[in-house]
Structure 1
Amino acid sequence: MKRYLITIQYLGKNYCGFQKQNGKPTIEQTIETALEKLLKVPTEIFASGRTDAGVNAIAQTAHFDAETSIPASKFPFAINQLLPDDIKVTKCKVVSKNFNARFDVKKKTYQYRTYVSKVELPILDETSYWLKQMPNIEKMKETANVLVGEHNFKAFMSAGGQSKTFEREIFDIKITKKGNQILFEVCGSGFLYNMVRIIVGTLLETGYGKKTPNDIKQAMELQDRTKTGYLVPAKGLFLKKVCY
């Protein structure tokens, strides 16, 4: 029996999130069903974390244990024949039996995609959030600097979050303009429920002059969700990288 680490890419729009839910389509259930067909035994996967309904991944990771003659290098080709077009395994390797895809994570990077246009653009709109006007990028970067570091991020968690502790460390926030697209990348030790999407909504509100960096400092000090930004749609969010 060996432990394998797989990297998974998926589009989340047709799924009710990553984690298994009774009677609902999820990423985890779809992969485990394919694994059972391939390996001929029920096989459970353990991911780096859950993504919510509609959220995408460029490089989600998960481990599982299996006895198989399929070489790790050939495993993506084998399982991808059993997976739908919107979920694919891109890499596979053997790891230590002590390795844990969730608990060994050192940091994660999420990317959020937006585009600026007077009208909705159907192709971009599939996986990006439509902005009708260009926000002030320098103002957003100024606010991003307030968020970098170790802080209590309770003000950036949606109601319904299960976390009992709210301290997290943000290592870096990058905001990049590429043509009519604005890309946000948030790298951190871990994230609260909807935290990245609220961070992006907050940055956009400062970019449009609705809030100031000082407003966000106060919101963090007060741990007041009502004083941070709105929750941007799930479709623009991608889990980009998991580091161990």
Structure 2
Amino acid sequence: MVASVRRLRCVLGYDGTDFSGFQVQPDQITIQGEIEAALNRITGEEIQIYGSGRTDAGVHARGQVIHFDTKSHIPLDKWRFVLNNQLPDAIAIRSVEEANESFHARFDVQVKEYRYCIDNSPVADVFRHRYADHIRYPLDVEAMQQAARYLEGEHDFTSFCSAKTFVEDKVRTVYGLNVERRGDEVWVICRGNGFLYNMVRIIVGTLVEVGQGKRVPAELAEILAACDRERAGKTAPAKGLTMWEVVY
């Protein structure tokens, strides 16, 4: 009798500090590699997982989504415990559920939300340094928010994409881009239908320059129109970025 195949969908979080990103790479410790190794130990199967997106080295996740197929008969309510028992402390499976065989963690995504945290206190908080970029000089959050409005909607984001990308179509839709001060933290919250390589971090780096008075908000429209990476700001450090939520 042939065992039936089940498709499972998981939501997970991870501290990306000590990983070389999500995607498997030779001789590197990655999120995908750790999860697939755990699945192999649990089931004895060579299982490949599929993620909603590939976070870069040092980037974190609160709501990454993956799916995988397995012939294992482990009860659904046991999967979270069994997986977490085999994973390093920096990776945590938050939920596991059965998925339709047609579900795909990457191709079915409707909205992704990324959040970037800036520690804007005079002295860096040692308990936040793994998850926030420290900028000690005051930031004009109102000016940053004005600038962010120019990036909302459907645009060619070539200026906000790493030159290393091989993707030809650089048109993406940003549904919302908000800059909020929460005490001594500044958060940049970006929701869209998809993001290019380093796109959110380049957006943040550019908005920070606005907040520092090095650029005026209206300049963001000119940067977009130029389709030139050299016109935008620096790429913000990976540690401040978290994949917050994925909506299907």
Q: Do the structures match in fold with TM over 0.5? A: yes
1:71 correspondence with 2:88:
no
1:148 counterpart residue number: 152
Partner of 2:137: 133
SS in 1 for 2:150: helix
Match of 2:225 in 1: 221
Task: Say whether the 8 Å CA contact 1:157–1:198 is kept in structure 2.
Answer: yes
Q: State yes or no: 1:189 paired with 2:215.
A: no
Which structure 1 residue ranges, 5 or more long, are not aligned?
Answer: none
Q: TM-score, normalised by structure 2?
A: 0.96
Pairs within 5 Å for 1:1-244:
1-244=5-248
Q: What CA distance in whole angstroms lies between the structure 2 residues aligned with 1:178 and 1:206?
A: 18
**Mapped partners of 2:214, 2:115: distance in 1:** 23
Q: CA deviation at 1:207?
A: 1.1
Gaps of 5+ in 2: none
- 1:151-185 Cα deviation digits (max 9, x unpaired): 00000011211211110000001222111111111
Deviation track 1:11-31 (CA, whole Å, cap 9, x = no partner) reads 111111110001111100000
CA distance in 2, matches of 1:51, 1:41: 25
Give how far 1:105 is off.
0.4
Equivalent residues of 1:168, 1:190 under 8 A apart: yes
The CA distance in 1 between the partners of 2:199 and 2:130, in whole Å, is 22
Which range moved further: 121-130 or 164-173?
121-130
The code of the aligned residue for 2:54 comes to R
Deviation digits for residues 56-108 of structure 1, max 9, x if unmatched? 00010010001222222321111100000001111011111011110000010
Overall identity of the aligned pairs, in %: 37
State TM-score, norm by structure 1: 0.98
SS in structure 2 at match of 1:213: coil
Aligned 8 A contact 2:121 2:185 in 1: no
Query: How far off is 1:227 after superposition?
Result: 1.5
* 1:120, distance to aligned residue in structure 2 (A): 2.1
The answer on whether the counterparts of 1:174 and 1:185 sit within 8 Å (CA) in structure 2 is yes
